[in-house]
């Protein structure tokens, strides 16, 4: 009897916690919706971070099936690839349905960045973003990414050159500093230069980047998060659109930055990276939470079925099944059969003869496992 009473008490506390959490999220979400109605640029609202080898056009098409409103990013494309690669369709090709979609550029030569920004606009991108956050030593050697935090005047020149060339927003994604930079004033002065160059918004990863001694992977986790620095930037530049990135793994965490943080003002946007990619169904909540729209309320099965025509067309044009399905491995994350889904696609989609039947087989495994669990209950 005592055990039953304890269970009832525990259940009551859990229900109260859930209700309070939902109430808090609802309240904060309304703040987000009020801010995001302008939909001005990717520093306002919700965005999916640019991720090399991940956020290609197939990934973005899939993500757009989950959210109408989220800002989607290309992988970083270097100016050299666009100017000298002689393959613009490869680097700039995308589906019209992806909008709003951002082209992220890597480079540091103002003339080249301006030229590439114009190309992005002509190819239908909604915004141009300059990468000042990538810590990879592969790009440092070409003055690309986080190393540019050591050259604030040059970055400001880059932004001004792109702004003069295009009629779409120009934003910057950056870290809060590099290496031994411990002074907030360094970040403040860096952003001040961007504001002077008329940047439309900044997305700030709330960690430093160590250019030597840490791998790109470690740079995503090891440097400590300083969310207060991002909010302090908003305080210093109240008319600048400021979004936060880094260490955010849920909407509950993200939406908290639409409130004051340690006495500093609320931000304008939230960017998620690996969580959005590895657990893509989280994107199905974006339109309601951040934009007040209920337009996307599809089940996982409906999302999957909506991808079938795209997959069939891709295969018809000579593409490989795995080029699309590798981005869908996390669709059933956390559900019975989710691991079976991932395993079946991983082991079979890459085969030259694989077609839509591989996806259907994988989903049948999920359906059977869900039914088996329901029967047990």
Q: Residue 130: which residues within 8 A CB-CB, separation 6 or more? A: 104, 105, 107, 113, 155, 158, 159, 162, 170, 171, 172, 173
How far is 343 from 61, CA to CA, in rounded Å?
A: 22
How far is 134 from 157, CA to CA, in rounded Å?
A: 19
Contact 257, 35 (CB under 8 A): no
Judge whether 3 counts as a catalytic residue: no
Nearest to 130 by CA among 84, 76, 204: 76
Q: Which of 3, 59, 116, 134 is catalytic?
A: 134
Contact 176, 208 (CB under 8 A): yes
Locate tokens 């690309």: which residue?
A: 144
Contact 172, 199 (CB under 8 A): yes
Nearest to 41 by CA among 159, 177, 192, 207: 159
Nearest to 141 by CA among 52, 200, 80, 227: 80
Q: Is 140 exposed, middle or buried (0-12, 13-18, 19+ CB in 10 A)?
A: middle
Q: What is the dihedral of CA 19, 20, 26, 28, to 10 degrees?
A: -170
List residues with catalytic annotation: 134
């Amino acid at each position: 009897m005592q055990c039953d009473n304890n269970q009832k008490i525990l259940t009551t506390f859990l229900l109260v916690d859930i209700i309070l959490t939902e109430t808090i999220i609802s309240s904060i979400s309304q703040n987000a919706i009020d801010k995001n109605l302008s939909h001005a640029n990717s520093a306002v609202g919700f965005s999916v971070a640019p991720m090399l080898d991940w956020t290609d056009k197939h990934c973005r098409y899939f993500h757009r099936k989950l959210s109408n409103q989220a800002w989607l990013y290309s992988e970083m494309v270097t100016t050299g690839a666009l100017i000298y690669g002689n393959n613009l369709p490869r680097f700039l090709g995308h589906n019209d349905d992806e909008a709003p979609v951002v082209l992220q550029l890597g480079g540091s030569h103002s003339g080249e960045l301006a030229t590439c920004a114009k190309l992005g606009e002509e190819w239908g991108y909604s915004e141009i973003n300059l990468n000042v956050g990538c810590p990879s030593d592969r790009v440092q050697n070409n003055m690309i990414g986080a190393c540019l935090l050591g050259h604030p005047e040059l970055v400001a020149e880059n932004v001004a050159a792109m702004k003069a060339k295009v009629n779409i927003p120009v934003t910057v994604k950056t870290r809060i500093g590099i290496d031994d930079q411990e002074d907030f004033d360094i970040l403040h002065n860096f952003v001040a230069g961007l504001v002077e160059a008329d940047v439309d918004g900044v997305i700030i990863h709330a960690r430093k980047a160590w250019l030597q001694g840490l791998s790109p992977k470690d740079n995503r986790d090891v440097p400590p998060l300083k969310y207060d620095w991002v909010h302090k930037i908003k305080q210093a530049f109240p008319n600048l659109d400021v979004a936060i990135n880094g260490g955010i793994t849920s909407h509950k965490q993200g939406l908290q930055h639409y409130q004051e943080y340690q006495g500093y003002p609320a931000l304008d946007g939230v960017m998620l990276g690996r969580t959005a990619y590895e657990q893509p169904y989280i994107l199905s909540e974006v339109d309601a939470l951040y934009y007040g729209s209920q337009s996307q309320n599809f089940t996982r099965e409906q999302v999957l079925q909506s991808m079938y025509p795209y997959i069939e067309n891709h295969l018809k044009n000579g593409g490989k099944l795995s080029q699309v399905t590798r981005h869908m491995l996390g669709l059933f994350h956390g559900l019975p059969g989710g691991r079976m889904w991932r395993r079946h696609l991983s082991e079979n989609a890459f085969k030259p003869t694989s077609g839509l039947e591989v996806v259907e087989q994988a989903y049948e495994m999920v359906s059977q496992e869900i039914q088996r669990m329901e029967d047990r209950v």
